[in-house]
A and B are shown apart, each in its own frame.
Chain A
């Protein structure tokens, strides 16, 4: 089933997070005022968005770099143009982690952890076999820091979203780690995510919608019974009425805080539904952030070596196979351009949703002003499998980096970028992250 535009709107309406509704969805200003609170410091949020199989460097990086030069985006990234002034591209930041595993595995599982893989039994396309990453990932590091303090603690701490991630756990499919040998699985089913965020509210709604029929049945069945037996059904009827009241009361209570969605999107998790699933996941993410259920979120598209067939872009070949083609293969090159443009478009949609949502809590500005989005990839370039110059695109204001520019740092270990991110997110104590020897000179200065 392909989710039509109409259905998507239906889904959003039921979700209660159409654009116009967002300020009410967030709901918290009302609550805070009611509690007599004054303005609160803006929340800092972190979103990490992953797309696989390397980029096309010539289409990704601008022609000119420099701390004072305004950013100019290449056509492949034109979807990001509305956010150009809040965008920072950083070339020359390398994943220098070596050791066990092929470049895809290390690209994926060392990307956010910036530390080596354990030796292991998973054989890549080359190199030695490897196991899980041996340390925590940066998103979880930020999460733990925020959760350690009362004023920044949230219900979930972090939420790991996925789109079309295969149901298997190995170093190619996991980028977030709670610690050594502790990979975290992204949830790629919007229905399941929905359930996680809103509990049984939609189920209660569905139950409420059939209770009238249940009561009809109780009445009908009662007629045939002896008076003694009828008393049991009368009690049963009372309980059904009670349940109706309870559900109504629960919904009324929830109306003010979290508008709980009423229906299940029920979308089939098929390759062709990926665009619709992607938007649903982004909508759910923005809603969760607006409601302050979490301040850290990751969004993982497919997996390293993923073979998604993006037919919605007129691409029949698997993504990973295409990424191996030489640059001279014009057809493959054009397709990879479309693919990476599409990812940029999804990123832009996320940024747009954040930009059009006022920052809850009366701090002013939009959510994007206080959210750091990091878009990244496990490889610098698909057909060379390089881990140098990972395409890092940073959007938004969460970490306080200076934007509207492109920098070329020419070979800085990405450990130092994560140190800068941790600092930007409020952790000034962190002096090393991941493998120590790549942390010399500390956080990159991005202010």
Chain B
């Protein structure tokens, strides 16, 4: 690449005429205008944007490409470029250089000509996709739990058939010596397991000296991660989590020799002292796991039992009935193998690269999965131990396993390999199954999301697979496969109808929850604050705020309107008693009468309505305000950058230089706004900070933990700024609500939201699906009252049915 010197303006004007003649021969543009533009670009732009607009590291590293019209591009250049001296390129020159840029590499047509348009890239499974696919692969073979397997003949049928309720099914037994579950005396649903029976009995018809209680049900895990459990009792207890649901479970007897499942926590033997036993388990979010607690008292003086947990991002608490229910569910296989992190350089996880670490993880995960399959082979392959037909069952199982894993029918060669070749040198069926699973899970047919051949229309199975990965990060379920087999994924309506069915599945909820975590950057922030300044802001408050934010997001998304604008405009927070104490006591506190939506009350979190200027959706949720703040103060820059990029949808280049925020360099009585203004007034900074700062300053009414404030350093907080939008109009902004009102009406904000949802669902660049994909989705989004669920369905359907052959080609530029 040629190096460029910065040429003083007067010099440039002088030399233009001379150079234009010399440059003409080598410049591709044909019009004289474009030739002039080429020279201007070379002299004024290329040092930051690269000779071909490809970008320059640490200057402006993204390619110069976009969706502005030519005239909009010219206006932008006139107003903003070159950055250090916008007045150097105005009028005709701005139009000439815009013309050159537009036709050389900026427009879609220009990029298409140069082979630069984004394409749908081959991608391997991301880590969440791998984990979900492995779980569902085994899940497709796991029988539904037997109903009432361990119940006695005297059980009330209605009880076992009633719909799922929150809490756990509880059975209270009178024990008799070694026979623990001797006489069933009481059945009910217990909400939280935190009982202190003292020296008494849990029920009138049970004696206090010896009794047994069994709690059974399902645990709903919302996030993927490590969950900790703790059983506290002076008596005997065993906790089972995600165990095989064997049905027909033995009555508890101390002298029984029946082989049972291994307990997660075994605190059965006790000497009467209070004990706490803890265990940790890795769970996949968006799924339910069988949970069972067996408890007994035998002649100890007192009895009590408490079951606590610590979910990811949470704190220790009694396992709340909000997270457990009476459903009977089967074991879910969870891959715990550590994987290297997926590429996030584009702001979303993509399976765009392979590495030794990844290959090693794939091997180890396939070994773990094969071990799980072999251990549960009779159950998964559907035969009894000692079945003479077992080899047939096993070979059938292997072939079906591969077809599910590849998301399509097997070719005859594949079928032959799995059923004949691998079984030919079989030493025993388990070893053969092990090898087959190891092979299938390392085959590219499993590991890559979309191997539809280049230049062919997608098959029904390809459409099904794309749909399930977009909505669930997983393989198709049986219904979706049936639809593929019967050709019922042909019309746009059929595909959308499937997507609509699938969005109701917990896996879709987990995926959309993941989107919000990405969009709001929830997983990258440290919220710990200076203890002396914010003593009440402890881990429990942080965990509650995170819970509050999740509740709010789910409330908006899964309401019927599912209105994106509510994410930004809502005037309520969902708070519990403790958070109300922290966040209500300010002038921006709640109105006495409000119109909070009908939120399902959960634990003690309820919607609390604030005055219109008090709160504006996620913009002012204390979790985010705290996340985008320093440990001891607000941070208008962090908040401003977040709002600019993620909410308002404007691009920012990386800062030209690293500037440390040093408290002692400012006058002691400076407000945060004054400090930031002083810090960013440098010319190199202000071109971006003129965009960032006004949005950040608008949130100065919220301190570092998101509480309302009106004063900073004993001066009134000043939130007012002039804000120049992307399209050049100037707004006066002075509150979070002003920012929210602007964003909900801004096309670039909508476009950014649509693009980010697309990235999260499809893990591809939307432009690869046609130049107008985002605009098209955006206008549909707007026409459909910004319904998020519909947006998700449309994106999934669009990506699923995409056909290279018939995809609309871009129209030539007029």
A293 within 8 A of B: no
Chain B positions 294-320 with a Cβ under 8 Å from a chain A Cβ: 296-300
Instruction: Find chain B residues with CB under 8 A from A242 CB.
Output: 356, 359
Instruction: Find chain B residues with CB under 8 A from A248 CB.
Output: none
- The one of B235, B259, B444 in contact with A236, judged by C-beta atoms closer than 8 angstroms, is B444
- Beyond A224-B454, A240-B359, is A125–B385 a contact (Cβ under 8 Å)? no
Distance between Cα atoms of A207 and B259 in the complex (Å): 32
- Beyond A210-B435, A221-B444, A221-B451, is A167–B261 a contact (Cβ under 8 Å)? yes
A362 within 8 A of B: no
Distance between Cα atoms of A132 and B273 in the complex (Å): 13
- The one of B299, B428, B438 in contact with A121, judged by C-beta atoms closer than 8 angstroms, is B299
Flag if B438 contacts A120 (CB, 8 Å): no
Instruction: Find chain B residues with CB under 8 A from A303 CB.
Output: 257
Chain B's nearest CB lies how many Å from the CB of A384? 19
Stretch at the interface among A24-32, A70-78, A226-234, A284-292: A226-234
- The one of B124, B431, B443 in contact with A217, judged by C-beta atoms closer than 8 angstroms, is B443
Chain B positions 410-461 with a Cβ under 8 Å from a chain A Cβ: 417, 427-428, 430-431, 434-435, 438-439, 442-445, 448, 451, 453-454
- The one of A167, A210, A233 in contact with B438, judged by C-beta atoms closer than 8 angstroms, is A210
Distance between Cα atoms of A274 and B360 in the complex (Å): 37
Distance between Cα atoms of A126 and B62 in the complex (Å): 80
Distance between Cα atoms of A170 and B299 in the complex (Å): 17
A39 within 8 A of B: no
Flag if B451 contacts A224 (CB, 8 Å): yes
- Beyond A121-B236, A121-B299, A236-B354, is A209–B270 a contact (Cβ under 8 Å)? no
B363 within 8 A of A: yes
Distance between Cα atoms of A232 and B125 in the complex (Å): 13
The residue among A129, A167, A211, A218 with the most chain B CB atoms within 10 A of its own CB is A129
Chain A's nearest CB lies how many Å from the CB of B4? 31
Distance between Cα atoms of A198 and B804 in the complex (Å): 51
Flag if A217 contacts B445 (CB, 8 Å): yes
- Beyond A263-B427, A266-B374, is A123–B178 a contact (Cβ under 8 Å)? yes
Flag if B438 contacts A207 (CB, 8 Å): yes
Chain A positions 132-167 with a Cβ under 8 Å from a chain B Cβ: 132, 166-167
Chain A, 215-258, contact with B by CB distance < 8 Å: what is the 0/1 string? 00110010011101100110110011011000000000000000
Flag if A129 contacts B298 (CB, 8 Å): yes
- Beyond A217-B445, A266-B428, is A206–B177 a contact (Cβ under 8 Å)? no
Flag if A120 contacts B270 (CB, 8 Å): yes
Chain B's nearest CB lies how many Å from the CB of A361? 34
A328 within 8 A of B: no
B68 within 8 A of A: no
Flag if B359 contacts A239 (CB, 8 Å): yes
Flag if B385 contacts A268 (CB, 8 Å): yes
Flag if A307 contacts B257 (CB, 8 Å): yes
Flag if B271 contacts A170 (CB, 8 Å): no
Chain B, 262-274, contact with A by CB distance < 8 Å: what is the 0/1 string? 1000101111100
Chain A, 187-220, contact with B by CB distance < 8 Å: what is the 0/1 string? 0000000000000100100110111011001100
Nearest opposing residue in chain B for A132, CB measure? B269
- The one of B271, B296, B298, B367 in contact with A207, judged by C-beta atoms closer than 8 angstroms, is B367
A81 within 8 A of B: no
A264 within 8 A of B: yes
Nearest opposing residue in chain A for B366, CB measure? A207
Distance between Cα atoms of A225 and B177 in the complex (Å): 70
Instruction: Find chain B residues with CB under 8 A from A226 CB.
Output: 119, 454
Flag if B428 contacts A7 (CB, 8 Å): yes
Instruction: Find chain B residues with CB under 8 A from A236 CB.
Output: 124, 354, 359, 444
Flag if A229 contacts B298 (CB, 8 Å): no
Distance between Cα atoms of A224 and B455 in the complex (Å): 9
Instruction: Find chain A residues with CB under 8 A from B359 CB.
Output: 236, 239-240, 242-243
Flag if A167 contacts B121 (CB, 8 Å): no
Flag if B444 contacts A120 (CB, 8 Å): no
Chain B's nearest CB lies how many Å from the CB of A24? 23
A168 within 8 A of B: yes
Flag if A221 contacts B445 (CB, 8 Å): yes
Chain B positions 326-365 with a Cβ under 8 Å from a chain A Cβ: 352-356, 358-360, 363-364
A122 within 8 A of B: yes
Instruction: Find chain B residues with CB under 8 A from A171 CB.
Output: 269
A306 within 8 A of B: yes
- Beyond A121-B300, A169-B269, is A214–B439 a contact (Cβ under 8 Å)? yes
Instruction: Find chain B residues with CB under 8 A from A307 CB.
Output: 257
Nearest opposing residue in chain A for B178, CB measure? A123
The residue among A1, A119, A207 with the most chain B CB atoms within 10 A of its own CB is A207
- The one of A121, A206, A232, A269 in contact with B235, judged by C-beta atoms closer than 8 angstroms, is A121
Q: Which range contains the number of B residues in contact with the other chain? A: 35 or more
- Beyond A217-B443, A305-B255, is A121–B427 a contact (Cβ under 8 Å)? no
Instruction: Find chain A residues with CB under 8 A from B434 CB.
Output: 206, 264
A118 within 8 A of B: yes
Instruction: Find chain B residues with CB under 8 A from A38 CB.
Output: none
Chain A, 303-335, contact with B by CB distance < 8 Å: what is the 0/1 string? 101110000000000000000000000000000
Distance between Cα atoms of A327 and B121 in the complex (Å): 80
Distance between Cα atoms of A203 and B122 in the complex (Å): 29
Flag if A132 contacts B271 (CB, 8 Å): yes
B260 within 8 A of A: yes
Distance between Cα atoms of A225 and B296 in the complex (Å): 62
- The one of B255, B271, B358 in contact with A181, judged by C-beta atoms closer than 8 angstroms, is B271
Nearest opposing residue in chain A for B121, CB measure? A229
Flag if B254 contacts A123 (CB, 8 Å): yes
Nearest opposing residue in chain A for B357, CB measure? A239
- Beyond A221-B445, A235-B354, is A266–B270 a contact (Cβ under 8 Å)? no
Nearest opposing residue in chain B for A307, CB measure? B257
Instruction: Find chain B residues with CB under 8 A from A129 CB.
Output: 298-299
A270 within 8 A of B: yes
Flag if A214 contacts B236 (CB, 8 Å): no
- Beyond A1-B386, A270-B385, is A221–B270 a contact (Cβ under 8 Å)? no
Distance between Cα atoms of A183 and B423 in the complex (Å): 43
- Beyond A214-B439, A225-B454, A266-B374, is A121–B270 a contact (Cβ under 8 Å)? yes
Flag if B122 contacts A229 (CB, 8 Å): yes
Instruction: Find chain A residues with CB under 8 A from B259 CB.
Output: 166-167, 269
A391 within 8 A of B: no
A131 within 8 A of B: yes
B22 within 8 A of A: no
Instruction: Find chain B residues with CB under 8 A from A170 CB.
Output: 254, 268-269
- The one of A120, A132, A264 in contact with B272, judged by C-beta atoms closer than 8 angstroms, is A120
Distance between Cα atoms of A129 and B178 in the complex (Å): 10
A10 within 8 A of B: yes
Distance between Cα atoms of A268 and B366 in the complex (Å): 22
Chain A's nearest CB lies how many Å from the CB of B191? 26
Flag if A121 contacts B298 (CB, 8 Å): yes
Nearest opposing residue in chain A for B445, CB measure? A217
Distance between Cα atoms of A169 and B453 in the complex (Å): 56
Chain B positions 4-36 with a Cβ under 8 Å from a chain A Cβ: none
Instruction: Find chain B residues with CB under 8 A from A266 CB.
Output: 374, 428, 430-431
- The one of B119, B124, B435 in contact with A228, judged by C-beta atoms closer than 8 angstroms, is B119
Flag if B431 contacts A233 (CB, 8 Å): no
The residue among A121, A172, A211, A263 with the most chain B CB atoms within 10 A of its own CB is A121
Distance between Cα atoms of A213 and B606 in the complex (Å): 57
- The one of A121, A125, A206, A217 in contact with B255, judged by C-beta atoms closer than 8 angstroms, is A125
Distance between Cα atoms of A1 and B431 in the complex (Å): 14
- The one of B260, B386, B443 in contact with A168, judged by C-beta atoms closer than 8 angstroms, is B260
Chain B positions 238-261 with a Cβ under 8 Å from a chain A Cβ: 254-261
Chain B's nearest CB lies how many Å from the CB of A229? 4
7 tightest Cβ-Cβ pairs between the two chains A and B: A266-B430, A224-B453, A229-B122, A210-B439, A239-B359, A131-B271, A121-B298
Known: A121-B270, A235-B354. 9 other contacts (CB 8 A): A1-B428, A121-B271, A131-B269, A166-B257, A169-B269, A206-B431, A207-B442, A232-B124, A233-B444
Supply 6 A–B pairs (Cβ within 8 Å), ascending by A: A121-B271, A121-B299, A131-B269, A213-B417, A232-B122, A239-B355
